Structures are given as C-alpha cells and as structure tokens.
C-alpha cells in the first residue's frame, strides 16, 4: 500500500527576520494545506531548507509538524544526508516522533557509487521500521540513482517502498518502472511532469507548486486517478507558466517569494540563498496573476 496517493507538499520552513524558525507560521501553513486538500506533508525536505537547518532545528521542525498534523494526513520526514550516520540518526528520531514515512535524498557533494547507494539506503532501512522514499534529484546532488539500483533496492530491502523521481528523464523513469515490475511506488519530483509520470504508473507528486496552489495540484493527480486524463492534462498545462516561474531561480527562492507575495509572511531564506532578482520577481508575479492566485 502506497504511503499516500495524490499531491504531497514539500512544505517551506517559515522563518523570522532573524533567521529563526517560525513555528507559529508553520502551524498556519500546515492547517491551510490540510484545508486545501493536500494529501501528505513532506517536512524538512530540500524545499524546507533542510541543508541549512541545524540538527536540533531539523528534528524540532519534524517533531512540531507531526504533532500539529496529528495523523490527519501522512507526515513524511526528510531525513536524508550525505553522511549515512547522520541520516540514520535523523531517521530514528523521526520514527520516534511518529512520522509516517521518510524521504531520503541521495548523498550530495561526496555523492556515491551505485554500490555505495545500495549500502547507504540499506543501512538506513535496517535502522528503522518506517517506509522509505528515495529521492533522486541529480541536478541538485550530482548523484543519480540508476534504474537498476532503484529496482534492486525496492526488491531486496523491505522498507524501501518508493522513489521521488526528479531526474527529469522520462526515459529513465520508464526503464525503472519496467525493471521494478510493480515493486516500487513512484512519485513525480517535478511539478511539470506530474501527468507523464502518472502515465508510467505514478501514484502522485511531491510538490513545490502545492505550497501556493494546494487544491489545484491535488486536482491534477485526483483527476488522473479518477480516470479523467483529459482534465488532469488540462490542469497540468494550465500550471506550466507558474511552475516555470517557481523554478526560474534555485528552489525554494521563488516559492518563498511567492508565498510572501500572497501575504503568507514566511520570511527570508537562509544563506547562501538570498532574494530573487527583480526581473524574476516580476515574472513570478505575472505568472501568479495569470494563474489566479495573486
């Protein structure tokens, strides 16, 4: 059984002007997401600026989200790291807090061989009992989980159950789903590829777009799952201009900017991420206006 079906939000981490995590605002965002039809919360993913949170902040933010959501929808904790021991520690703590599943990005910068990836994910899986979603985003990490590796892990490691695929390669995804032969659940990691990945057997998306358009993103997936592919495709295409604007600079710079433009007051980014270029802010505003959320 899939961890979730539908649209999960890779939620931002709101911050005060001094850079501290704003838990009151996070609580507001979580309630808005649930009310907006979001099917799962992904807390402390890369959109949540996990790379610049301290270990203590990372764990406190996960704990807060789990308690706030209170099992109304699944909470998936981002516990990936380029250090296997750190990923194990974060994963074990998230399990103790009551997370429903884990999202584990591939090791970044130091990367890993395919054998190393097998060992990395296996060691983490053996340290916990929660279902694990691997996160493949080579454009950010420099490390690509090849289809053969993902299929091997899904078939041989009990709690490696899914993959968030953001390689951008539909051909790679197709090969993975062929090799896995039903052993892995598939989530789109790219908002502009929800429908193509659903067509290859995906059961949803882990989404940046959902931060600003939760109901619309949910509906893209729900329409496909209901068999109305034409409606799903139309909703996907309608969102393309906004999706492109949300990724015209490094994520989560544009999505935090968008939320602030919407009056959500999610605060600043942590360095080395800083404010958007003025021309890109105007591009984002125009896309949001055209989409009807500003």
In sequence order, which residues have a C-beta less than 8 Å from that of residue 214 and are 6 or more positions away? 7, 9, 32, 33, 36, 37, 38
What single DSSP character describes residue 21?
Answer: B
Q: What are phi and psi of 103, to 5 degrees?
A: -115, 125
In sequence order, which residues have a C-beta less than 8 Å from that of residue 178 and are 6 or more positions away? 147
pLDDT band at 285 (very low <50, low <70, confident <90, very high): very high
Question: Does pLDDT of 230 surpass 90?
Answer: yes
Q: Examine residue 24 and state whether it is found in any structural domain, yes or no.
A: yes
Our answer to whether residue 164 is catalytic in this structure is: yes
Q: Examine residue 98 and state whether it is found in any structural domain, yes or no.
A: yes
Residue tagged active-site, from 164, 256, 264, 291: 164
Q: What is the mean pLDDT of residues 82-88?
A: 97
Query: Tell me, what CATH number does 69's domain have?
Result: 3.20.20.70
Residue tagged active-site, from 25, 68, 118, 135: 135
pLDDT in tens, 50-75: 999 999 999 999 999 999 999 999 99
Q: Examine residue 45 and state whether it is found in any structural domain, yes or no.
A: yes
Q: Examine residue 133 and state whether it is found in any structural domain, yes or no.
A: yes
Q: How many whole angstroms separate alpha carbon 289 and alpha carbon 287?
A: 5
Our answer to whether residue 155 is catalytic in this structure is: no
Predicted local confidence at residue 70, as pLDDT: 98
| Torsion region of 237: left, alpha or beta (phi above 0 gives left; psi -120 to 50 gives alpha) | alpha
Q: How many whole angstroms separate alpha carbon 240 and alpha carbon 246?
A: 10
Q: Nearest 5°: CA angle at 104, between 103 and 110? A: 160
Q: How many domains does the chain have?
A: 1
| 12 neighbors 211 (Cβ within 8 angstroms) | yes
pLDDT in tens, 120-173: 999 999 999 999 999 999 999 999 999 999 999 999 999 999 999 999 999 999
Predicted local confidence at residue 198, as pLDDT: 98
Q: Examine residue 279 and state whether it is found in any structural domain, yes or no.
A: no
- Integer angstrom CA distances of residue 182 from 162, 179, 185, 221, 224: 11, 9, 8, 19, 19
In sequence order, which residues have a C-beta less than 8 Å from that of residue 49 and are 6 or more positions away? 12, 13, 252, 269, 270, 273
Q: What is the mean pLDDT of residues 171-191?
A: 98
The tokens for 116 are: 């190393």
pLDDT band at 257 (very low <50, low <70, confident <90, very high): very high
Task: Specify the pairing of strand 160-165 against strand 75-78.
Answer: unpaired
Q: Examine residue 241 and state whether it is found in any structural domain, yes or no.
A: no
Predicted local confidence at residue 52, as pLDDT: 96
Q: How many whole angstroms separate alpha carbon 274 and alpha carbon 36?
A: 29
Question: Does pLDDT of 1 surpass 90?
Answer: no
- Residue 75's domain comprises 6-226
Q: What is the mean pLDDT of residues 16-40?
A: 98
Does residue 71 sit in helix, strand or coil? coil
Q: Examine residue 32 and state whether it is found in any structural domain, yes or no.
A: yes
| 270 neighbors 52 (Cβ within 8 angstroms) | yes
Q: What is the mean pLDDT of residues 243-258?
A: 98
Q: Examine residue 57 and state whether it is found in any structural domain, yes or no.
A: yes
Q: Report the predicted TM-score, pTM, of the whole model to 2 decimal places.
A: 0.97
In sequence order, which residues have a C-beta less than 8 Å from that of residue 279 and are 6 or more positions away? none
- Mean pLDDT (the chain) is 97
């Amino acid at each position: 059984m899939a961890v979730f079906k539908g649209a999960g939000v890779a939620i931002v981490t709101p911050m005060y002007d001094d850079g501290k995590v704003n838990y009151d605002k996070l609580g507001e965002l979580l309630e808005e997401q649930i009310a907006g039809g979001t099917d799962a919360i992904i807390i402390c993913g890369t959109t949540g600026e996990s790379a610049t949170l301290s270990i203590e902040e990372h764990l406190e933010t996960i704990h807060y989200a789990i308690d706030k959501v209170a099992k109304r929808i699944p909470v998936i904790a981002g516990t990936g790291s380029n250090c296997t021991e750190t990923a194990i520690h974060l994963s074990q703590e998230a399990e103790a807090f009551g997370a429903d599943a884990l999202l584990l990005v591939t090791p970044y910068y130091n990367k890993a061989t395919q054998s190393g990836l097998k060992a990395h994910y296996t060691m983490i899986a053996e340290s916990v009992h929660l279902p694990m979603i691997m996160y493949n985003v080579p454009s950010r990490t420099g490390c690509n989980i090849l289809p053969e590796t993902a299929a091997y892990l899904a078939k041989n490691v009990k709690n490696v159950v899914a993959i968030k695929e953001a390689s951008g390669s539909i051909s790679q995804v197709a090969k993975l789903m062929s090799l896995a032969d039903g052993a892995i659940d598939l989530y789109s990691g790219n908002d502009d590829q929800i429908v193509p990945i659903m067509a290859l057997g995906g059961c949803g998306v882990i989404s940046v777009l959902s931060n600003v358009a939760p109901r619309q993103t949910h509906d893209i997936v729900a329409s496909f799952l209901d068999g109305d592919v034409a409606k799903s495709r139309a909703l996907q295409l309608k969102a393309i201009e906004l999706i492109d604007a949300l990724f015209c600079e490094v994520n989560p710079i544009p999505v935090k900017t968008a939320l602030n433009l919407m009056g959500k007051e999610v605060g600043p980014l942590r360095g080395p991420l800083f404010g958007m270029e003025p021309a890109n802010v105007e591009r984002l505003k125009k896309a949001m206006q055209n989409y009807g959320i500003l």
